[in-house]
């Protein structure tokens, strides 16, 4: 890295001896109190400008080099940032894809389970309807059977009652006939 310290620049550029020479030609002393400050500044201005002129080219070169380094650093930083962002984006995209795939699998599994549950429910409902219809038919048959049995019992009861009535009538006639001859004999 470059050093901005002027004393080290002077040493590197070999300008230090010139400064000593300039100071020897134009000594600014504080001992001379009669000297006009403008004269002292005026005398030192041109050698300082000469030195600064020499440094100006060097400073401009160094600034140019620094600018180029800064541009290169910024470009490299942007490239690195772009590479990192692309990697991050790819990683994020892969993670989103994994999460999406996992969600799709869970959704499909849940939907299949729901579909199976609906099919089971429909099968159970169909079985229940079939069982209900069978029970209803069985009840109808049972009702018919019971009605027929009841009708048969009723017919048998009526026949029995008629037979009992006829038998009673026969008995009552037979008793009348048996009781009448005795009455006739007694009379």
Query: Does residue 180 carry a pLDDT above 80?
Result: no
Query: Does residue 109 carry a pLDDT above 90?
Result: yes
From CA 111, how far away is CA 114, in angstroms rounded? Answer: 5
From CA 15, how far away is CA 57, in angstroms rounded? Answer: 13
What per-residue confidence (pLDDT) applies to 46? 77
For tokens 């002129």, the residue is 53
> Could you state, in order of their start, the residue ranges of all structural domains in the chain?
49-136
What per-residue confidence (pLDDT) applies to 146? 87
Give the tens place of pLDDT for each residue, 151-167.
999 999 999 999 888 88
Q: Which has the minimum average pLDDT: 32-41, 104-113, 154-163?
A: 32-41
Most confident of 32-46, 52-66, 73-87: 73-87
Query: Does residue 82 carry a pLDDT above 60?
Result: yes
Taking the CA atoms of 127, 132, 135 and 140 in sequence, report the sign of the dihedral they define: negative
Cα 54 from chain centroid (whole Å)? 68
Query: Does residue 93 carry a pLDDT above 90?
Result: yes
Tokens encoding 74 = 């910024």
What per-residue confidence (pLDDT) applies to 52? 72
Q: Compute CA distances 181 → 77, 174, 176, 187, whole Å.
A: 151, 11, 9, 10
């Amino acid at each position: 890295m470059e050093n901005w310290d002027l004393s080290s620049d002077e040493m590197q550029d070999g300008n230090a001896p010139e400064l000593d020479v300039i100071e020897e030609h134009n000594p600014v002393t504080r001992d001379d109190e009669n000297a006009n400050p403008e004269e002292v500044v005026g005398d030192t201005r041109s050698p300082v400008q000469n030195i600064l002129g020499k440094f100006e080219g060097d400073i401009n070169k160094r600034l140019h080099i620094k600018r180029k380094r800064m541009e290169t650093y910024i470009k490299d930083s942007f490239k690195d940032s772009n590479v990192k962002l692309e990697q991050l984006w790819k990683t994020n995209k892969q993670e989103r894809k994994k999460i999406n795939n996992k969600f799709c699998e869970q959704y499909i599994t849940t939907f299949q389970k729901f579909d199976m549950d609906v099919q089971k429910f429909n099968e159970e409902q169909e079985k229940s309807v079939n069982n209900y219809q069978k029970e209803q038919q069985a009840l109808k048959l049972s009702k018919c059977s019971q009605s027929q049995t009841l009708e048969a019992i009723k017919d048998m009861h009526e026949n029995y009652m008629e037979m009992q009535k006829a038998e009673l009538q026969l008995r009552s006639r037979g008793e009348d006939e048996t009781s009448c001859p005795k009455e006739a004999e007694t009379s």
